[in-house]
Chains A and B, each alone.
Chain A
Amino acid sequence: MSKPYWTKENFPITPNIRNPAGSLAFKCGQWRSVRPVLDEKKCTKCGICVLHCPDDAIAKNEKGEIEINYDYCKGCGICENECPVKALKMIIEVAEK
């Protein structure tokens, strides 16, 4: 993922994105000031948060459990707002010690 998107060989004249999944190179999780935390006891695994996440940062794993990818979650809070059983809660990020 650290490989630059454009090089001297392929540098275009317009900033258009020609390859799919180009945004994988930009770990926008570092923009986040609040993070969603899932209460697994409340979660009904309905998947509404998966559908609403604008960054595709929430997914169901093979067991059908909800997983949040903090590399890409920007902390927008849409999942907390949409969750019908209030299983998601935004908490303030604190510096690691």
Chain B
Amino acid sequence: MNTRKLMSGNRAIAEAVKLSEVNVVSAYPITPATSIVEYLSEFIARGELAAEFVQAESEFGAMSACIGASSVGARVFTATCSQGLALMHELNYVAAGLRLPIVMAVTNRQLSQPLGMWCDHSDAMGERDSGWMQIYVESCQEAFDTVIQAFKLAETKEVLLPIMVCLDGFILSHTSEPVEIPEQKEIRDFLPAYKPDADYHTLLDVKKPLAAGGGCPPAFTMEFDYKKYDAQEKGREMLRKIDEEFGDAFGRRYGLVEAYKCDDADAILVAMGTIVGTAKDVADKLRSEKGWRVGVLKLRSYRPFPKEEVLKAACGSKAVAVVSRAISYGLGAPVFSDVATAMYNAPEKPVLLNFIAGMGGRDVDKKGLAAVFEKTIKAAETGKIENEVEWVGLNKNLVGG
């Protein structure tokens, strides 16, 4: 019997990690990721989860412990965000390069300065090109389900890459929603125990000795980079497949993107994380009250980037607004650049609008998103954009712009 309980995003992540039967959790808790590992340490202390909990001396140490544990064949989990994720940066490349299927929850939080503990996507964007996969979730149920999917995807032979499950700090990590929790047996059927392959990637085994983490001359380095690139390319297809299998087993499917009312849309809003839920509400309201044909495209898988899905959903429209919770200083926003890259060679493409919103915990409300849709509908009619980059909710009285 499935149980349905009210729980926060962090609790949902912890429950999923428990049911994934991980062997090692190592962390250096940081707000707002803290309660994920607090719950896990409680599960372990109560004997509900037979895992080793390694309290590290820093996030650098936590990821090092994760790399060590995964290298001996353990199923490994950690959680962090913001400065903690930044401190892991060097090791994140090592985990990806050693092809270790570690799963990490990132409760997206701003980076100092200014110091703050509120939501934006700056932290995970810093790890965008590290080789890790990144999946952004919209609800507590999706957070739970994505952890289960992530372990299966990371451990797939064609992939063997670490994965970040990204959830908006506080907005999702500390908001409670009903979450359906399957039985342990059902999860085990979907996600069997991790069986590392000593002949294939990094596994420290006294019977098959190897030296890991050493130097590599220029004659081979690019080839290993290509292997990682290729694993993400294959990972795109594997995530589609695993998401289908998950849907067959548990009745919930998410896809690499969710195209909400995009089929007939003139204007589409593209976003990741919790903005998507609000945007869907606003789209419904604008459709019924103003008769605007508007849709929402949720990017769930950000790395690998769902190129085909984005083209299919958005290239039939006239204008697309990308609303990002991250900035690329000196250019615009990373998500905008990625959507533009995916579309550039398409024969017919919409006008693209670049919106920066919700930085450092600034609320992204219905009014703000309605204004985004209005500008996008206008661009759909005129085929022109007013400003290269628009800042949603910026107090122009203070800074101009």
Q: Which of B209, B212, B217, B219 contacts A14 (CB 8 A)?
A: B212
Distance (Å) between the CB of B71 and the closest chain A CB? 10
Residues of the B chain whose Cβ atoms lie less than 8 Å from the Cβ of A20: 209
Asked if residues B210 and A15 are in contact (CB atoms below 8 Å), the reply is no
Q: In whole angstroms, how far apart are the Cα atoms of A12 and B202 in the complex? A: 10
Q: Pick the residue among A6, A11, A14, A17 that contacts B99 (CB under 8 A).
A: A14
Check B188 for interface membership: any CB of A closer than 8 A: no
Specify which chain A residues have a CB less than 8 angstroms from the CB of B200 in the assembled complex.
12-13
> Does the CB pair B212–A16 fall under 8 Å?
yes
Interface pair B231/A13, CB less than 8 Å apart? yes
Mask, B233-248, CB within 8 Å of A = 1, is 0000000000000000
> Do A11 and B211 have beta carbons less than 8 Å apart?
no
Q: Please name the residue on chain A nearest to B230 by beta carbon.
A: A13
Q: Quick one: CB contact mask for A1-41 with B, threshold 8 Å, 1 for yes? A: 00010100001111111101010001000000000000000
| Shortest distance between the CB of B212 and any CB in chain A (Å) | 5
Nearest chain B residue, comparing its CB with the CB of A13: B227
Interface residues on B, range: 20 to 34
Q: Judging by beta carbons under 8 Å apart, are A15 and B216 in contact?
A: yes
Residue contact B223 to A16, C-beta cutoff 8 Å: no
- Please report the C-alpha to C-alpha distance between residue A14 and residue B101 in the assembled complex, in whole angstroms: 13
Which residues in B have their C-beta under 8 angstroms from that of A17?
A: 210-211, 214
A14 to B160, CA, bound (A): 10
Q: Which of A12, A13, A20 has the most CB of B within 10 A?
A: A13
Distance (Å) between the CB of A29 and the closest chain B CB?
16
Which residues of A sit under 8 angstroms from B211, Cβ to Cβ?
Answer: 16-17, 22
B223 and A11 form a contact (CB under 8 A):
yes
Please measure, in the bound complex, the distance between the C-alpha atom of A22 and the C-alpha atom of B97, giving whole angstroms: 20
Question: In terms of DSSP, what is the predominant structure of the interface of chain B?
Answer: loop
* Inter-subunit contact B220/A6 (CB<8 Å): yes
Q: Tell me whether B212 and A13 are in contact (CB under 8 A).
A: no
Are A14 and B214 in contact, CB atoms less than 8 angstroms apart?
no
A13 vs B161: C-alpha distance when bound (angstroms): 11
**Within 8 Å CB of A26, what residues of B?**
217
**Assembled-state Cα–Cα distance A18/B201 (Å):** 11
Q: Considering the chains assembled together, what is the distance between the CA atoms of A22 and B215 in angstroms?
A: 12
**Interchain CA distance A88-B200 in the complex, whole Å:** 45
Option from A4, A6, A14 in Cβ contact (under 8 Å) with B98 = A14
The closest CB in chain A to the CB of B215 belongs to A15
Chain A: which residue is nearest B214 at the CB level? A17
Partner of B97 from the list A4, A11, A14, A18 (CB cut-off 8 Å) is A14
Give Cα A4–Cα B223 distance, bound, in whole angstroms: 14
CA distance A11 to B200 in the complex (A): 10
Name the one of B98, B210, B224, B231 contacting A18, with C-beta atoms under 8 angstroms.
B210
Least CB separation from A19: chain B residue = B210
Residues of B187-225 contacting chain A, CB below 8 A: 200-202, 208-212, 214, 216-217, 219-221, 223-224
Residues in A neighbouring B208, C-beta threshold 8 A: 18
State the Cβ distance, B326 to closest chain A Cβ, in Å. Answer: 30
Residues of A within 8 A of B214 (CB): 15-17
A12 surroundings in chain B (CB, below 8 A): 200-201
Complex: A17 Cα to B221 Cα, angstroms: 14
- Which of A6, A16, A17, A26 has the most chain B CB atoms inside 10 A of its CB? A16
Contacts of B219 in A (CB 8 A): 4
Counting chain B CB atoms within 10 Å of each CB, the highest count among A4, A12, A22 belongs to A12
**Residue of A whose beta carbon sits closest to that of B221:** A15
7 interchain residue pairs of minimum CB distance: A17-B211, A15-B216, A16-B210, A18-B210, A16-B212, A13-B227, A14-B99
Contact surface of B with A, Cβ cutoff 8 Å? 97-99, 160, 200-202, 208-212, 214, 216-217, 219-221, 223-224, 227, 231
Question: What are 28 pairs between A and B in contact, CB < 8 Å?
Answer: A4-B219, A6-B220, A12-B200, A13-B99, A13-B200, A13-B201, A13-B224, A13-B227, A13-B231, A14-B97, A14-B99, A14-B201, A14-B224, A15-B97, A15-B214, A15-B216, A15-B221, A15-B224, A16-B98, A16-B211, A16-B212, A16-B214, A17-B211, A17-B214, A18-B208, A18-B209, A18-B210, A26-B217
